[in-house]
Amino acid sequence: MPGEGGGPLALGPGRQESGASVSDFPLRRPRAAAASLGALSRLLDAELLNGGADQEIGGVAPLASARGGELGFLADRRYLPALKGSEATALLVAEELAEAVASDPRPRLILSDPHAALRGLLEFFFPPVRRMPTIHSTAVVAESARLGTGVHVGPYAVVEEDVEVAEEVTLGAHVVVGAGARIGRGSLLHPHVVVYPGAVLGARVILHSGVAVGVDGFGYTFEDGGHRKVPQVGGCVLEDDVEIGANTTVDRGSIGLTRVGRGTKLDNLVQLGHNVEVGRHSVFAAQVGVAGSTRIGDGVMAGGQVGIGGHLSVGSGARMAGQAGVTGDVASGETVMGMPARPRGEFLRGIAAQGRTPELLRRIRSMERELEALRSDLSRQGSRDEEGSQGEDGSAGGEEKRSERREYPGE
């Protein structure tokens, strides 16, 4: 098993070791008991101002909807107008907004990273629901499958031949795990996830509903007037702590591996083509598409609807803004925008130039009118010169005299 998912496995679907611990289930429920504001300040390592250490707090909510007994969350200056009408008993405030709320009499927790604090509070106030390990009576588990201790298999789930499932794994309703696949310790597969045969999931992987891992890549040759399928015989690996949103698909390699690195997070409706490699701790927003055989480094961020062409390289730390169309390699640390994707500065200069287009068009039209008027004047002047170039008798002598008169205008 990859990473931390390689612990001992109990043989057989129904022969789990005694003393099995419970598995985390995907739902969370509010904690019944409240906590004092002082205890929360210690939990978050936050500064508590305006007293209230003994005040009981039962939850956290946005300022506009917070009720009595709850913390009002304020991390963005745009939400300051909601402060006055908020019913929150106390406030959780970003450090840079401390002065803006100084006149409010309520107790408040001041933190440099309020979003990290919010995560901690949500984990505290909404602990995971836990179920005893069990295999539902409607589930189908092959005799050759190996399940670790603490595994939960939900209704109508299917675990095929030679599958290995490590400890503390939850397989939700209608999950299908194909033959020979491996699921690492503590992983959570929500209902209707499909893991194709031979795919490998590391420890603590989370797959949301509708995810399909290890599906055939889009490979065809055109022969004899038709498209012929190229067998997709490679593998698919999701490393430890990967989380994938609903209805995302990850193709298996054609003859190599498709790999998603440790700690990477993919949003809903993302598509990774065959032989794609994504590094560690990258984040892709919804509807990102990556064509086959592209290599993506560590810590890369892709905004919504980014499209990345095939056989490209995206360096570590690169940023791709929403709807960028990446048609060439992206250097490490570079930010690209637009279609086709260009470096941020170049793109913004282009946008600024586009904003001046109406003005430039007006100036061009004005210049065209002036040029046309100048041409008309020159044409009329030319006609007058031509008429004046002829003497009364039409001889060249007249021109000579006129030339002399032009040369000696004082005569």
The residues near 246 (Cβ < 8 Å, ≥ 6 apart) are 190, 208, 209, 210, 211, 268, 269
128/373 Cα distance (integer angstroms): 80
Query: Measured in whole angstroms, how far is the alpha carbon of residue 191 from the centre of its chain?
Result: 23
Q: How are the residues of the chain apportioned to helix, strand and coil, as percentages rounded to the nearest 5? A: 20, 30, 50
Torsional class of 275: left (φ above 0), alpha (ψ -120 to 50), beta (otherwise): left
Give how far Cα 238 sits from Cα of 66, 146, 198, 201, 241, Å: 39, 20, 12, 5, 9
First-to-last alpha carbon distance for the chain, in angstroms, is 111
C-alpha torsion angle, residues 193, 197, 199, 201 (rounded to 10): 50
The residues near 404 (Cβ < 8 Å, ≥ 6 apart) are none
Q: Are 287 and 270 in contact (CB under 8 A)?
A: yes
Paired residues of 236 in beta bridges: 258
Residue with tokens 């949003």: 267
Confirm whether 274 is a catalytic residue. yes
Paired residues of 153 in beta bridges: 135, 171
Element (H, E) at 278: strand 277-278
Catalytic residue among 192, 227, 274, 311: 274
Active-site residues, by number, are 274
